[in-house]
Amino acid sequence: MQIIIVGAGKMGITLAENLINEGHNVTVVDNNENIVERGENTLDALFIHGNGVRVDVLKEAGVENADIVIAAAAGDEINMLVCLTAKKLGAQYAIARIRDPEYLDSLSFLQKEMFMDYVINPERSTAREISRMLRFPFVNGVETFARGRVELVDFKATEDDGITGIPLREIYKNKKNLPQVLFCAVERDGEAIIPKGDFVIRAGDKVHVAGDVNTVTAFFRAMGKGGNAIHSVMILGGSRIAYYLTQMLANMHMKVSLVEINAEKARQLSESLPDADIIQGDGTDQELLESEGLPDVDAFITLSNRDEENLMAGLYAVHRGVDKVIVKSSRENYSALMRNMGLDSIVSALSVAVNNILRTVRTRSSRSSSAVVRMYKLIGGKAEALEFLADGNEPFIHVPLKELNIDPDCLIAVIVRGNKVMVPFGNDTIENGDTVIIISKRTGVRSLDEVIHA
């Protein structure tokens, strides 16, 4: 596909790298000459120096033949104008990053009037992800599929869980009262593993399990992990993510205190978030954190714009015994370092945005009717969780799974049929209209028929 990206910031460059790796022709537009020159030397993409709102610049980028234009400039208003201009000039599809909370209530109207086919708000999506992670203190991440009916949850296995040292096929034979989820992926020593029946989980493994919401909840409770509900949260940094998250947590009846160093921003947050306790001060100051009751909160979340501050404050919260510590990182290479230092729950607005846009690109680039609907990268991008809607014309419909040729690097994790969520076995089938969730070590999968053959 011919894809134009306007804006060569972190998001634009990361998108370009991923899209190039997936075989697309990418053109990047930015008005910073130094960034353009650096990009030309590092990426196999066409870089154009200029203002992406200008008609002549978009025409130089080939907008008339563009399958997708992605507006990822710094300003929301610029991104809206880019989409409007690109669609008027002949682009087939336009994606915009819109982040300002001021536009939230009028977004549906703006999307229609400015010809934006898809809008991504990375900060709001990240806040939603964090709110799901607060469901259990021990969980590192929670992804949802099938309109929230299916959850993919990852946690670090311990000796006390009762699932270590036993082949997976034996776990439910030995523990008949343990609710059945699917063990669908494991991270061990930085390697992504799709486990088979003879796989044995070890303490320290990062384990991904999938199932319907009630079963996943019951599974963790049966392992003794269902207690310690989170009631109080302290947030470092008054960013957009913090704003969206505080609103969500207030609706969940959690007590929130938010520390912001900038006095004017703290005042604005105090006015717009009346249900939260806004504290003006340096959130990396250990004495301030102690005086505001850090050791007594159930969760501590670092959302400042500096990764180094987030890292240091997160480590201090772990040292002070906070049950749940979530750290925002904008650099993928920092994530491994943070995990090695004991910070397992890491979020990235950049990753959230890139994953959503890549999924949209794959859907539009697939010629199959069973194209990918939702996609999440797992284990540092070494595996993917993908959601598809099965079409009745596919040859694998109504064929027992044991008779199908399934890509060995892929696992059928969950099938959703109507209101029924199933962990599939060999005699189960995929039927027309089923939602099918796949875990894949392959990247770039666009449709269900790429991994399943009759």
User: pLDDT tens digits for 309-356?
Assistant: 999 999 999 999 998 999 999 877 666 677 777 787 889 999 889 989
User: What is 364-453's CATH superfamily?
Assistant: Regulator of K+ conductance, C-terminal domain (3.30.70.1450)
Give the pLDDT score at 227: 61
Residue 286 burial by CB count (10 A; 0-12/13-18/19+): exposed, middle or buried?
middle
CATH of 228-347, one of 2.60.40.420, 3.30.870.10, 3.30.365.10, 3.40.50.720: 3.40.50.720
> CATH 3.40.50.720: which residues of the chain?
2-120, 228-347
Q: Under CATH, which number does the domain 2-120 receive?
A: 3.40.50.720
**Parts of the chain belonging to CATH 3.30.70.1450:** 364-453
Instruction: Label the pairing between strands 255-260 and 232-236.
Output: parallel
pLDDT single digits (tens) 75-111 = 999 999 999 999 999 999 999 999 999 898 899 999 9
- Band of pLDDT at residue 369, cut at 50, 70 and 90: low
Residue 398 reports pLDDT greater than 70? yes
pTM, 2 dp:
0.84
